[in-house]
């Protein structure tokens, strides 16, 4: 199958900054053609005649799949598959596979970095040094009454999958007490979990690791943010649309929340006038969707892509994605 398996990667530069080893993927797909990026009006031509298509964020809808006469496998170079019409692919006999559990160490590290930076007020400390305040000080240090210790504080985890569990384990090493939220609106509370609103009202820090679904879209809004403990932190390394941005901005500006660290926005890339980018409040840290993107994590993703293709070629597909509901 590797001899006659024309393949294309539609947006390779979304994964590679020139620092990855592609040999494993090229070994299983010798005919792989890589495009740095693909505009919507280029997709149909680039997938025509290909047996394997790899996409990170390029959309493959039903109409495009209809025109891909030889397509047998779509690999999503990510975990989320909302950019592919899964049901349309199934009806056409196209296998869709994704990449799983490749970025856990990177996301855990980034989540903790955001928490530590906010509780230690690192951006403010750096600004005070840069503007010469320390040099003008009459003392050896610049005391900041806003600095807090994490030890003894409570971290609420919203979304207790692989990432949420890993963050919880790491947080306990810093002396944080961890609370696991049940699914919002659930009337059944599983052992080891607490009702969503109880976690909101109790936790000093809330960290989001939930998927984006119709039920979780703007889960954190004016009402739920108001239920959070005064001075609490909100950390989002999951999906931008879990949080209503205007409401988060208002909660930060009012001082109800002590701070927020977000690695994801909606949409991406965000507009310059996005509520969390235009004149951002000082207790907000925004990073450009890089929690997943350590070099090691991106290499694991690429190597897993090769493994997915290899299993599909052997007739034993892995990481196959079912119909979205």
pLDDT tens-digit readout, 24-53: 999 999 999 999 999 999 999 999 999 999
For position 181, what pLDDT does the model report? 98
More confident residue, 64 or 324: 64
**Distance between CA atoms of 142 and 311, rounded to whole angstroms?**
58
For position 3, what pLDDT does the model report? 63
Q: Where in the chain is the domain with CATH 3.40.50.720?
A: 7-102+294-313, 104-286
> What is the per-residue pLDDT across 156-199, written as a single tens digit (0 to 9) for each?
999 999 999 999 999 999 999 999 999 999 999 999 999 999 99
**Distance between CA atoms of 262 and 237, rounded to whole angstroms?**
6
For position 2, what pLDDT does the model report? 56
Q: Is the pTM of this model over 0.85?
A: yes
Residue 1 pLDDT > 60: no
Look up residue 80 and give its two tokens: 């989320």
- The residue from 50, 110, 239, 274 that is catalytic is 239
* 268 assigned to active site: yes
Q: Residues 97, 74: contact at Cβ < 8 Å?
A: yes
Residue 117 pLDDT > 50: yes
Section 17-22 average pLDDT: 97
- Cα 22 from chain centroid (whole Å): 23
Confidence band of 4 (pLDDT split at 50, 70, 90): confident
- The residue from 90, 92, 289, 311 that is catalytic is 289
The per-residue DSSP string of 239-267 comes to -GGGB-HHHHHHHHHTTSSSEEEES--SS
DSSP state of 257: S
Helix residue ranges per DSSP H, 2-42: 23-28
* 70 assigned to active site: no
* 239 assigned to active site: yes
Backbone angles phi, psi at 226, to 5 degrees: -65, -25
Q: Residues 26, 32: contact at Cβ < 8 Å?
A: yes
Topology of 104-286 in CATH?
Answer: Rossmann fold (3.40.50)
- The residue from 33, 215, 268, 320 that is catalytic is 268
Kindly report the average pLDDT of the chain as a whole number: 96
When computed from its CA atoms, the radius of gyration of the chain, rounded to whole angstroms, is: 22
Residue 322 pLDDT > 90: no
For position 324, what pLDDT does the model report? 44
Confidence band of 325 (pLDDT split at 50, 70, 90): very low
The answer to which of 2-16, 87-101, 160-174 has the lowest mean pLDDT is 2-16
Domain 7-102+294-313 in CATH 3.40.50.720? The answer is yes
For position 133, what pLDDT does the model report? 96
> What is the per-residue pLDDT across 226-236, written as a single tens digit (0 to 9) for each?
999 999 999 99
Share of residues in the chain with pLDDT > 90 (%) = 96
């Amino acid at each position: 199958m590797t001899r006659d398996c024309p393949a294309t990667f539609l947006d390779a530069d979304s994964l590679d900054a020139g620092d990855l080893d592609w040999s494993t993927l090229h070994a299983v797909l010798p005919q792989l053609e890589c495009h740095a990026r693909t505009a919507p009006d280029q997709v149909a031509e680039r997938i025509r005649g290909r047996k394997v298509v790899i996409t990170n964020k390029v959309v493959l809808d039903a109409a495009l799949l209809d025109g891909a006469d030889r397509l047998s496998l779509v690999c999503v170079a990510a975990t989320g598959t909302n950019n592919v019409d899964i049901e349309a692919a199934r009806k056409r006999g196209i296998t869709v596979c994704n990449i799983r559990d490749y970025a856990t160490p990177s996301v855990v590290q980034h989540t903790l970095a955001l928490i530590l930076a906010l509780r230690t007020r690192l951006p403010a400390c750096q600004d005070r040094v840069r503007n010469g305040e320390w040099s003008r000080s009459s003392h050896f240090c610049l005391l900041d009454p806003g600095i807090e210790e994490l030890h003894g504080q409570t971290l609420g985890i919203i979304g207790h999958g692989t990432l949420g569990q890993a963050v919880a384990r790491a947080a306990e090493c810093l002396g944080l007490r961890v609370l696991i939220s049940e699914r919002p609106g659930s009337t059944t509370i599983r052992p080891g979990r607490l009702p969503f609103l109880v976690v909101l009202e109790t936790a000093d820090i809330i960290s989001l690791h939930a998927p984006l679904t119709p039920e979780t879209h703007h889960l954190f809004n004016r009402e739920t943010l108001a239920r959070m403990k005064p001075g609490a932190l909100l950390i989002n390394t999951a999906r931008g649309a879990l949080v209503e941005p205007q409401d988060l901005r208002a909660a930060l500006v009012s001082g109800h929340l002590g701070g927020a660290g977000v690695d994801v926005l909606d949409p991406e890339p965000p507009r310059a006038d996005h509520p969390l980018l235009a004149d951002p409040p000082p207790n907000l840290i925004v990073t450009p969707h890089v929690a997943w993107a350590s070099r090691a994590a991106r290499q694991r993703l690429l190597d897993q892509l090769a493994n997915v293709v290899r299993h599909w070629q052997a007739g034993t597909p892995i990481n196959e994605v079912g119909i979205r509901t």
